[in-house]
């Protein structure tokens, strides 16, 4: 017996359960269409013509409980609508998630093992197999899917390794499965099949062993990025709108095909070992396509979708679905007010080389000196597939004028009374983040000495990148300037002998008449001598600065205007 059947469940009073279920915007299913109708009207998208639909080996004209449509628009599944295949009745997937493990047995389960699923599991139960032929008009097949199960998370790394496969066969395909088919239901970038033991939370379940997962994929723990935990929350079931306790994120798969040729695909899913807990695979409606397609994108320097005139270029990238053969891509550029002279690097054609799915090239907005505001540039890429099918893709990017930078600074005038002074600058204009640096000093703002006169250069560099500079003059006020005339007449103007820049502490002043006699002397001069009692005339002085020790000599004329 499956261990899950022995697990006890938490029972919730009806008064709590009913409101919860009413609040839930759950995944829903419909089982009214035949497999053929599901494939033709829901699954198939652009560029494919389908035929010969069968389900479990029978004509696809009969409704079967293991296949139907789903609506996940208001659910947490990740796909809005499509078809679903389940190892039980498809109603098993409908939310909200009320139990830790459930199954919806079908009246006549199919236990006939599928040979291709046999690569992944030794015993198959409740097998569901959808098959059909199709003819692609493009050169690539692609579709999106999600795999989910009630085996999560308790039976991760156990023998209950439910699995599924998308087995594609046809011209140009060589693989190990039936009709030389390949399996497209793989973890992106690998050949590892998606199953319980390869995509999961990255830890073994209560009934599992990590060695079992490692045997399926040595890197199984890193695959947890593709897993969504949807385990039951009995008190808040509206948070889990799908019954399955875990499922993958939407995964896109596909392969290069030859247009106009007939291919066969088999979508198969089964329970492993027993049939007690169900699994399901969801395929997005309309995603089964074979249309040639181009994806155009523009990466701009600041990641904002804007190319600024005269600044760093952006990068145009054109992607295709396949990698086989050279693909010649034609390019066109359009936009209101946009002319060829606005652009640099606007190539007319590029080639995606054989073996690659993309090509990139730089493009710049040229600086034309005109204020044009924002302009929308449309870049359109087009090509023709081997089946003469036109493919086109486009992307918008905005062209913008560059606003030149202006550094806002002011010169500073001091009075020889500050040991240090703060220098700061602001910038207007520019692109993106602007770095302000004082040359030979460091980032803005900085402190400089206030006791020495000097010039300081500040540099601004933006993300264009462009650089501008400005010079700030700092006058310390410490330069010695000695007046040679004073007029001590009491009018409040030029009455005292004021020596500019003289440091009071340690300074000395001596004044002599024309006969060499000292008429005034002092230390620590305070700019306050008014020549009181001295007649008008010419005198001589010796001044020593207390800060530098510099010695100054000269003559001083006293004009008192008849002051007594």
pLDDT in tens, the chain (564 residues): 344 444 333 333 333 333 434 444 689 999 999 999 999 999 999 889 999 999 999 999 999 999 999 999 989 999 999 999 999 999 999 988 777 677 788 888 999 999 999 998 889 999 999 999 999 988 788 899 999 999 999 999 999 998 899 999 999 999 999 999 999 999 998 999 999 999 999 999 999 999 999 999 999 999 999 999 988 766 665 667 898 999 999 999 989 888 889 999 999 999 998 888 999 999 999 999 887 778 899 999 999 999 999 999 999 999 986 666 788 999 999 998 898 889 999 999 999 998 888 999 999 999 988 888 999 999 999 998 766 778 889 999 999 999 999 999 999 999 888 889 999 999 999 999 999 999 999 999 999 999 889 999 999 999 999 999 999 999 988 888 899 999 999 899 999 999 988 878 899 999 999 999 999 999 999 999 999 999 999 999 999 998 888 999 999 999 987 655
Looking at domain 485-558, which of 2.60.40, 2.60.120, 3.90.1150, 1.10.4030 is its CATH number? 2.60.40
Contact predicate 343/298, CB 8 Å = no
* Domain ranges across the chain: 28-284, 294-400, 406-475, 485-558
CA torsion 221-227-228-229 (nearest 10°) is: -30
pTM of the predicted structure, to 2 decimals = 0.57
- Helix (H) or strand (E) holding 21, with range, is helix 14-23
CA torsion 242-248-250-254 (nearest 10°) is: -130
294-400 topology per CATH: Immunoglobulin-like (2.60.40)
Q: Note whether 406-475 and 485-558 share their fold.
A: yes
Contact predicate 350/332, CB 8 Å = no
User: 369: which residues sit within 8 A by CB, 6+ positions away?
Assistant: none
Residue 19 exposed, middle or buried by CB count within 10 Å (0-12, 13-18, 19+): exposed
Place of tokens 């009709």: 179
Buried b (16+ CB within 10 A) or exposed e, 293-327: bbebbbebbeeeebbbbbbbbbebebbbbbebeeb
The domain 406-475: what is its CATH number?
A: 2.60.40.10
Residue 250 DSSP class:
P
């Amino acid at each position: 017996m499956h261990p899950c059947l022995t697990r006890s469940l938490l029972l919730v009073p009806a008064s709590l359960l009913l409101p919860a279920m009413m609040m839930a915007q759950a995944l829903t299913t419909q089982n009214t269409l035949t497999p053929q109708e599901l494939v033709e009207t829901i699954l198939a998208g652009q560029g494919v013509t389908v035929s010969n639909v069968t389900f479990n080996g029978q004509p696809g004209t009969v409704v079967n409980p293991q296949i139907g449509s789903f609506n996940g628009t208001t659910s947490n599944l990740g796909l809005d609508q499509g078809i679903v295949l389940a190892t039980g009745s498809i109603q098993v997937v409908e939310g909200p998630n009320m139990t830790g493990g459930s199954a919806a047995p079908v009246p006549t389960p199919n236990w006939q093992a599928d040979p291709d699923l046999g690569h992944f599991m030794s015993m198959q139960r409740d097998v569901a197999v959808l098959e059909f032929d199709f003819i692609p008009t493009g050169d690539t097949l692609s579709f999106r899917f999600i795999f989910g199960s009630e085996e999560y998370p308790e039976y991760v790394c156990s023998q209950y390794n439910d699995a599924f496969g998308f087995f594609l066969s046809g011209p140009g395909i060589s693989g190990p499965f039936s009709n030389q088919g390949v399996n497209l239901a793989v973890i992106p970038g690998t050949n590892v099949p998606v199953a319980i033991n390869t995509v999961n939370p990255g830890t073994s379940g209560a009934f599992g062993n990590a060695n079992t997962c490692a045997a399926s994929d040595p890197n199984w723990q890193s695959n947890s990025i593709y897993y969504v935990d949807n385990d039951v929350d009995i008190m808040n079931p509206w948070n889990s709108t799908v019954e399955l306790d875990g499922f993958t994120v939407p995964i896109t798969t596909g392969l290069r095909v030859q247009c106009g040729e007939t291919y066969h695909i088999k979508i198969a899913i089964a329970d492993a070992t027993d049939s007690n807990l169900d699994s399901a695979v969801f395929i997005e409606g309309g995603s089964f396509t074979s249309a040639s397609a181009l994806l155009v994108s523009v990466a701009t320097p600041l990641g904002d979708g804007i190319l600024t005139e005269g600044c760093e270029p952006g990068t145009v990238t054109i992607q295709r679905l396949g990698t086989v053969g050279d693909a010649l891509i034609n390019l066109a550029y359009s936009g209101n007010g946009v002319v060829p002279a606005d652009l640099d690097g606007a190539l007319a054609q590029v080639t995606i080389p054989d073996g690659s799915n993309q090509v990139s090239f730089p493009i710049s907005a040229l600086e034309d000196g005109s204020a044009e505001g924002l302009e929308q540039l449309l870049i359109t890429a087009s090509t023709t597939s081997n089946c003469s099918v036109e493919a086109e893709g486009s992307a918008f990017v905005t062209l913008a004028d560059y606003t030149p930078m202006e550094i806002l600074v002011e010169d500073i005038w001091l009075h020889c009374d500050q040991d240090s002074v703060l220098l700061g600058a602001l910038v207007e204009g520019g692109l993106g983040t602007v770095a302000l640096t004082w040359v030979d000093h460091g980032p803005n703002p900085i402190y400089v000495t206030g006791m020495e006169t000097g010039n300081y250069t500040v540099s601004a560099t933006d993300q264009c990148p462009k650089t501008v500079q400005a010079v700030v003059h700092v006058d310390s006020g410490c330069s010695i300037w000695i007046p040679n005339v004073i007029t001590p007449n009491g009018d409040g103007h030029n009455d005292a002998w004021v020596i500019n820049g003289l440091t009071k502490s340690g300074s000395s002043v001596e004044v002599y008449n024309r006969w060499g006699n000292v008429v005034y002397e002092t230390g620590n001069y305070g700019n306050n001598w008014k020549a009181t009692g001295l007649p008008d005339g010419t005198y001589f002085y010796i001044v020593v600065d207390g800060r530098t020790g510099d010695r100054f000599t000269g003559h001083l004329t006293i004009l008192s205007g008849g002051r007594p």
